[in-house]
Structure 1
């Protein structure tokens, strides 16, 4: 084998860069396809889970309605007129809803911006440029 054959058999830098670029492109495309497949599976599972929760919530709502009617009829056993019994049960739900609204408003008022994350994110461009910020 001559020296000329050895030189032509060795890959050139251009060929190495082209091969690396091709391989990197193939790797990125494979990763994207894998991510798509995983997301499709996750979306299907999530949609099925959501549908089951919605059906369970609807059944729960029906149960609450039936239990409310039963509670009102139990109150009629005390001698109250059925209209008053249903008003009492409805009033209890109004009070419960008002309490839940108050608690919800209180929780929403506690929402704050993620200030530390925002500050860290602002430092990323300078860090990528090799600059250090004095924080």
Structure 2
């Protein structure tokens, strides 16, 4: 838009344009907040999924894996069967611990995510900038406009010559 285009627009058109742009800005800020929250929720979902997987591995694999591993260790080493069962249990706890650690890492990432906090800070910054905006020096206030209209009404019309 050139300077001449801006001069040709009425005050109402400029206010309408500013209102439209502010509305678009607010809608964009809301969309950004939603996208950031969606990302944080996805991270939290991955973390909770890892916790659930850790629990499932620990619960469902303990009986079958413990027996298989204990009898395998007994056949390989010849150790007492109770020691072999303890070793198989320790292996299952180790696997569950690793899955739990993965869950903790993803949960911390989701907690660290600033999400909507970034958007709120941006919106506050925009509001602060808009609060400090001063009217253009050529802008006429309503009281000045009324005063000017009174002066024009008081003056007598001037006859103009066609020459």
Aligning the two structures, in what range does the TM-score lie when normalised by the shorter sequence?
0.3 to 0.5
Question: Greater CA radius of gyration, 1 or 2?
Answer: 2
Structure 1-normalised TM-score? Answer: 0.40
Structure 2-normalised TM-score? Answer: 0.35
Structure with more contact order per residue of length (Cα contacts < 8 Å, sep ≥ 6)? 2
